[in-house]
Amino acid sequence: MKENHEITMDTFLDGLWKENPVFVMLLGMCPVLAVTNTTMNAIAMGLATTFVLLSSSLLVSLLRHAIPKQVRIASYIVIIATFVTIVDYLIQAISLELYNALGAFIQLIVVNCMILGRAESYASKTRPMKAMANALGMGGGFTIALLCLGTVREVLGNGTLLGYSLFGDSFQPWVVMVLPPGGFFVLGSWLLLFAWLRQHNERRREKKLLETEAANGN
């Protein structure tokens, strides 16, 4: 099979919406739920994951002819683990507070199925530039998903956004939202919303199709 090396806008945009790793493909759920109790954590986690995704995609893509088929998964994991170790030490150097808040979840980026999935199904088959464009889109989509959850949970559960109070003292925080069950509920609600939107659009398209058919029939 000949490789298609054309980089289109879709290479990048697919990851943001149509193939959003979290909302559509349901990959890499663990960090999505675990670290999104504040917006700041969500941003940090999103950026860290994007960095690992980007650099591992580049390296996997560069080495795609050198890695033998039989040991490819193991090699990808070693590559990913290397970059995660770098990120782990970087965050520790930049902000110890953030490092403690994210805890083991920085190191757990290694087992984020989204990254391994991208390496296996995309980066190992295309040129570095295209792989990086796709990785950037996927990372962006992942970060957006984390933000969707992080903001909702922080606003409802704490009454703050990025640490600034939104509603004043009279606000009774909805504490369950920052606790584990809230993560499940908020992500479930987002999925419901997207499923509803998709169904709504489909119905409208069908209705339009029927109408045009009826018009043509007359």
Partner 1 sequence: MATESLSFIFLNALLINNFVLSLFLGLCPFLGVSGKLNTAVPMGLATSLVMLISSLCAFFINEILVAFNIEFLRLISYIAIIASAVQLVEMSMKKFSPSLFRALGIFLPLITTNCAILGLALFQTFKEYTLLQSLVYSLGAGAGFTLAILLMAGLRERLELASVPSVSQGAAMSLMLAGLLSLTFMGFAGIGG
What is the binding site for partner 1 (CB under 8 A)? 26-27, 29-31, 33-34, 74, 77-78, 81-82, 84-85, 88-89, 104, 107-108, 110-113, 116, 176, 179-185, 187-189, 191-192, 195-196, 199
Instruction: Give 102 or 133: the residue with its C-beta nearer to partner 1.
Output: 102
- Give, for 72, the enclosing helix (H) or strand (E): helix 72-94
Taking the complex as a whole, the smallest distance from the CB of residue 76 to partner 1 amounts, in Å, to 11
Tell me the two tokens of residue 11: 């290479």
Instruction: Give 195 or 210: the residue with its C-beta nearer to partner 1.
Output: 195
Residue 116 C-beta-side C-alpha neighbours within 13 Å: 16
φ, ψ of residue 29 in degrees (nearest 5): -75, -30
Taking the complex as a whole, the smallest distance from the CB of residue 21 to partner 1 amounts, in Å, to 12
How many whole angstroms separate alpha carbon 113 and alpha carbon 52?
13
CA-to-CA dists, residue 90 to 7, 44, 85, angstroms: 31, 12, 9
The four Cα atoms 105, 109, 110, 111 give a dihedral, to 10 degrees, of: 80
> Which amino acid appears at position 25 of this protein?
M
Taking the complex as a whole, the smallest distance from the CB of residue 115 to partner 1 amounts, in Å, to 9
Taking the complex as a whole, the smallest distance from the CB of residue 72 to partner 1 amounts, in Å, to 13
Instruction: Give 12 or 122: the residue with its C-beta nearer to partner 1.
Output: 122
Instruction: Give 82 or 151: the residue with its C-beta nearer to partner 1.
Output: 82
Instruction: Give 48 or 187: the residue with its C-beta nearer to partner 1.
Output: 187
Taking the complex as a whole, the smallest distance from the CB of residue 198 to partner 1 amounts, in Å, to 9
Q: At what angle do helices 113-121 and 39-62 cross, to 10 degrees?
A: 30
